[in-house]
Structure 1
Amino acid sequence: MFSHIIVGAAHGSTLYVGDMLFYAILFIVLMALIAKFAWGPVNAMLKERADRISNDIDSAEQSRIEAEKLAKQRKEALDNSHAEATSIINNAKDSGAKERELIIGNAQNEAKSLKDKAKQDIEQERADALKSAQDDIASLSIEIASKVIKKELDENSQKDLIDSYIEGLGDSK
């Protein structure tokens, strides 16, 4: 009945009010069904997506803060390792200098000790050589004196006589 009502006077552009009313009712029913069944899940999905995006942004911010913290810790660790390396190098230099001084001191002490021992050895050798020379001179003197004098003295008397003569020579110097 309403499907044949013509709205408008233009030729070729006829609108049927009944169809329009039917389409309007269908549209309203469709909107009600969408509002009843689809609007809630779509809103929930959009809210869930918004929450997920918000969480991702928060997570990214936390990750950035944590990365900055780790970078700061690494920089501090690097600075500490540089300071520690410098300290180790300085300690090694100081230790090396002390060790060098100790080695030089020990070498000087050892050289002095060797020099003193060499002097003692030289003095001992000199004393031994002098004693040996005195003994040789005494023996020769006894031999010469016994041949010259043709008098035989006992060996101890001759030795005493020669020793006193040699000491007399040593005192006159």
Structure 2
Amino acid sequence: MIEPGIGLLFWMTLTFLILLFLLAKFAWKPILTAINEREVTIVDSLNQAKLARQEVENLKAENEIIIREAKVERDQILKEARDIRDRIVGEAKGIAKAEGDKMIDAARQTIQAEKSAAMADIKSQIGTLSVNIAESILKQKLDNDGAQDALVANILNTSNLN
């Protein structure tokens, strides 16, 4: 007689083999197909994620390049603005200095002209005053004819007449 444990083992093995056959015939292909499709979907998703990550990194790199270029351009514009400002200030200083020098020269010329006019006026006044004083002194000394004759003789003796 067959032992009870071996019979049960036989039927379990037979049931397992039938189940395995049915699963292989009807279920393994759809399950493997679904697993393969799922694997392909996961691989595609991972590849798309990698591509998206690379694209984000590329965009970040491009943004950094654009920012650096913008900073360089900003610095260049600021430098040009400073240069223009310095040039304009320098030109204005030069013009102001030239105008100031012209005004100083004009003032010096005016002062010199007024000084010359004042000196000429003083010389004229001194000349007139000297003539008046000499005239007064001569009138007092030359009241008589003898003094006049002596003065004329003295002048003739001291001057060199050729």
Under a length normalisation based on structure 1, what TM-score does the superposition of the two structures give? 0.56
Partner of 2:91: 98
| Alpha-carbon distance in 1 for matches of 2:35, 2:10 | 34
Aligned with 1:16: secondary structure? helix
> Of the two structures, which has the highest relative contact order with CA contacts closer than 8 Å and spacing of 6 or more?
1
Q: Which runs of 5+ in 1 are unaligned?
A: 7-11, 138-173
Fraction of identical pairs, as percent: 9
User: Per-residue displacement from partner, 1:138-165 (whole Å, max 9, x unpaired)?
Assistant: xxxxxxxxxxxxxxxxxxxxxxxxxxxx
Partner of 1:38: 31
Larger helix percent: 2
Offset, 1:13:
5.8
Offset, 1:114:
3.2
Partner of 1:29: 22
Amino acid at match of 2:70: A
| Alpha-carbon distance in 2 for matches of 1:13, 1:43 | 40
User: Per-residue displacement from partner, 1:18-71 (whole Å, max 9, x unpaired)?
Assistant: 221112111221243332433322321221111011011011112212211221
Offset, 1:118:
4.6
Q: Which runs of 5+ in 2 are unaligned?
A: 130-162
Moved more, 26-35 or 45-54: 26-35
1:11-22 map, 5 Å: 14=6, 16-22=9-15
- 1:60 aligned to 2:33? no
Amino acid at match of 1:97: G
Partner of 1:145: none
Q: How many pairs align?
A: 130
User: Per-residue displacement from partner, 1:102-123 (whole Å, max 9, x unpaired)?
Assistant: 1111111122223334555666
| Alpha-carbon distance in 2 for matches of 1:36, 1:47 | 16
- 1:71 aligned to 2:37? no
